[in-house]
Amino acid sequence: MIAIGCDHAAISLKQAIMAHLDEQGIAYINLGTDGDPCDYPDMAKAVAEKIISGECERGILLCGTGIGMSMAANKIPGIRAAVCSDCFSTRYTRLHNDANILCMGERVIGQGLALELVDIFLTTGFEGGRHQRRVDKITALEQH
C-alpha cells in the first residue's frame, strides 16, 4: 500500500499519479489535499505516520518543489524522504538509501517524467549489503 499526499500546489500532479496507480492496480491511500489550501508539514506528517505504523510500505509527497515536503518528512524518525526529478537519483535513492518516501514538485517536473519516477521508485528494491551499514548510520542520527 502506498500513502500519497500533497499540498494545494500539487493537486493536479497527485491526481495524475493516482490515475496511474489505478491503471496499474496499485493500492494507495489518498491523504489529501483535494482542493483546500493546507500546510505541507501536515501532509508530510500524515504520509509519514502511515509508513511508520506499517500500514503503508512507501509514500509519495508532492508540493510546489518537493523540498518542503522532504524537509518536513525527514524530521520524523524512520523516514528517509528524497526529492527526485531524474531517473538516476530515483533509482539510487532506493538501491542505496532505502528511501521510503518519494518527493516531487509539480512546478519543477512534468507529468510524464513524474509518472516514470513513480514507477522506478515503486519497483526498485534496496540492495542492502554495504548500504545497510550506511542506512543504519542515518537511523542512528535520529537518536541525537
Catalytic sites, residue numbers: 63, 96
End-to-end CA distance of the chain: 31
Question: Could you tell me what percentage of the chain is helix, strand and coil, using 3-state DSSP and rounding each to the nearest 5?
Answer: 45, 15, 40
**Residue 40 near residue 17, CB atoms below 8 Å:** no
Q: Is residue 105 within 8 Å of residue 10, measured between CB atoms?
A: yes
CA pair distance 52, 44, nearest whole angstrom: 12
Say what angle helices 111-123 and 87-95 make with each other, to 10 degrees: 20
